[in-house]
Structure 1
Amino acid sequence: MNVFVKSLGALALLTLSSLANAFDLQQLSDQLAKPDVIHGQFIQEKHLRALPQPLISKGNFVLAKHYGLLWLLKTPLQQDYRINAKGIARRDVSGWQLLPGKSAGAEQNRLFLAVLQGDSSGLQRDFELTLSGDAQKWHLTLTPRSVLLKQVFNQINITGGTLVNTIELLETQGDSTVLRMQDSTAGQPLSDAEQHDFAE
C-alpha cells in the first residue's frame, strides 16, 4: 500500500512539475502569432547616461501578420515608418523610401517586429531565450549570442500576456530603451488607408 501511495505521490509531483513548465516558447510564439491585425499605442522611453531625464516619444502602431508593422510616431515629431520583409521604409512627401538596412536603428526595428509577431525561431538565431510565467503573464529574457549583438545589448526583457506589453533594451554602454505597448486590440481589421500603406 505504501509503495502504491508513494507512486501516486511521485506521479502527482511529476504532473504538477510538467504543468508548471507547460508554457513554452512554441506556445508563446503561437499565442503572439494568432491575431491577424493588432492596433495599439506606444510610449518609448530612451534613457541616456548623459541626460537626467529620458527622451519620450509616443505614437500608434499597426501590426499585420501578412504585411509587417506600421510605426506611426506622433510626438515629439511626426514620422511614419513601415517595417516588413523588404526592410524599413520612412514616409516622406514623395511616399515610402527604403532606408539602408545595416543601421543600429534598423536592427532594433527588425527585433521589434520579430518580438511582436512571436517569431521565436528568428530570435533564437541571434539570442538565448529564457521564458518564465504562463500564458496570462510571462517574461522572456533575450541574451545575445553573436559578438556583434553582444557589443550592442547586454540583455533584452519582454513581458506580456495575450499580447506583448513591454520591451526593455539594456545596452552595453549603459543606455536603455523601454517600450510600453498600450491599449492593444486584436479585433479590428486593416483600414483602407492602412492596406494602402502596406501595399505601396
Structure 2
Amino acid sequence: MNFCKPLLLACLLVLGLPSQAQAFDLQQLSDQLARPEVIHGRFIQEKHLRALAQPLTSKGHFVLARNHGLLWLLQTPLQQDYRMTPKGIARRDGAGWQMLPGKSAGAEQNRLFLAVLQGDSSGLQRDFELKLQGSAQAWQLQLIPRSLLLQQIFTQINIEGGSLVQRIELLETQGDRTVMTMQDSTSAQPLSDTEQHDFAE
C-alpha cells in the first residue's frame, strides 16, 4: 500500500472557508489553512488503475490536528493506522508506533503535507503553480507541480470544497488516478484522550 499519497490527500482537509464579500484569493485560503485546531471526519478513497476495470476502494477515519499532525485510520479493506508529524510518518503495529524510512519521495510529500497543514502558501508556491477559482462557498483549487520530484509523481492535483474540502483528485504521471471524498468533516470536536496519547507517543 502506498501510504504517502492518502496522507498527502488528507493533509488538505484543513480548509474551512467562511463567507466573504470580496473575491476569494490564495491569501484567504492560506489564512484558513492555519485556522482550525482539529478536524475529524471520514474518507472514501478510490484508486483508479489503468489495468483494472473497477477502482480499489478504501475507507476510514482521520484526525487532523494543527499543533500535532495527522492520524489516518484505515478501516477497510484492512485495518492500519498511520501518523504523520513533523518527525515523519509512523505506522502502528503490535509494539506501538514505528517510524518509516524518510529518505524518499515520501519524505518530500511529508514536507508538502506539513506546508499545507500549517497554511504555508509560500512553501506550496515553491512546489506548485496554484490556480484558485470560485467563491468561499464553492471553490476549486488546481495544483500543477513545479519541482522535478513531484512532476515525476503527479501531473495535477484538483481540490474542490465549500465550507470544508469535499473532494480531492490526484492525477498521476503513469495514468492512474486517485479520488478522495470527504464525509462528515467537523472542526467542532477537540482531541480525545486517546488521540492525544497517539500523538504523544
TM class by smaller structure? 0.7 to 0.9
Q: Structure 2 CA distance, aligned partners of 1:105 and 1:136?
A: 32
State the match for 1:158 in structure 2.
159
Point out which structure has higher relative CO (alpha carbons under 8 A, 6+ apart). Answer: 2
State the match for 2:124 in structure 1.
123
Structure 1: tracts of 5 or more residues without a match:
1-18
TM-score of the pair, normalised by structure 1: 0.84
Q: Please state if 1:73 is matched with 2:62.
A: no
TM-score of the pair, normalised by structure 2: 0.83
Q: Please state if 1:172 is matched with 2:169.
A: no
Q: Please state if 1:54 is matched with 2:55.
A: yes
State the match for 1:13 in structure 2.
none
Determine if contact 1:81/1:90 at 8 Å carries over to the other structure: yes
State the match for 1:84 in structure 2.
85
Number of aligned pairs?
182
State the match for 2:9 in structure 1.
none
Q: Structure 2 CA distance, aligned partners of 1:176 and 1:182?
A: 20
Structure 2: tracts of 5 or more residues without a match:
1-19
Q: Structure 1 CA distance, aligned partners of 2:147 and 2:130?
A: 13
Comparing both structures, which one devotes a greater share of its residues to helix? 1
Pick the structure with greater CA Rg.
1
CA offset digits 1:135-164 (Å, max 9, x no partner): 111111000101221121110001112222
* 3-state secondary structure, aligned to 1:173: coil
CA offset digits 1:105-152 (Å, max 9, x no partner): 555565455445544222212111111011111111000101221121
RMSD: 2.0
